[in-house]
């Protein structure tokens, strides 16, 4: 699937969630989607958590 199709599907799911569960359900769903995406990137090896931690604490590296 292309990123456009994935984005459209995610938008539809979030819109449906907002309609059914209201604002707080929408925020909770968005949080779960973001955490799931983060964990998926880590599992695929496309995201190094040590590098993210270093960037958030102000340490930068060239690697």
* CA–CA gap between residue 8 and residue 57 (Å, rounded): 34
According to the model, what pLDDT value does residue 61 have? 64
Per residue in 25-44, pLDDT tens?
889 988 998 898 888 888 88
SS3 content of the chain, % helix, strand, coil (to 5): 80, 0, 20
Spatial separation of the C-alpha atoms in residues 32 and 37, rounded to whole Å = 9
Contact 49, 42 (CB under 8 A): yes
Long-range CB pairs of 27-33 (<8 Å, 24+ gap) are none
Q: What is the mean pLDDT of the chain?
A: 87
pLDDT for position 59: 81
Share of the chain above pLDDT 90, in %: 17
What are the domain boundaries of the chain? 3-56
- Global pTM exceeds 0.75: no
């Amino acid at each position: 699937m292309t990123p456009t199709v994935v984005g459209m599907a995610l938008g539809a799911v979030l819109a449906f969630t907002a309609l059914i569960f209201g604002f707080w359900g929408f925020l909770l769903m968005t949080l779960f989607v973001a955490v799931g995406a983060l964990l998926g990137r880590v599992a695929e090896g496309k995201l190094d958590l040590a590098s993210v931690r270093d960037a958030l604490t102000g340490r930068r590296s060239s690697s």
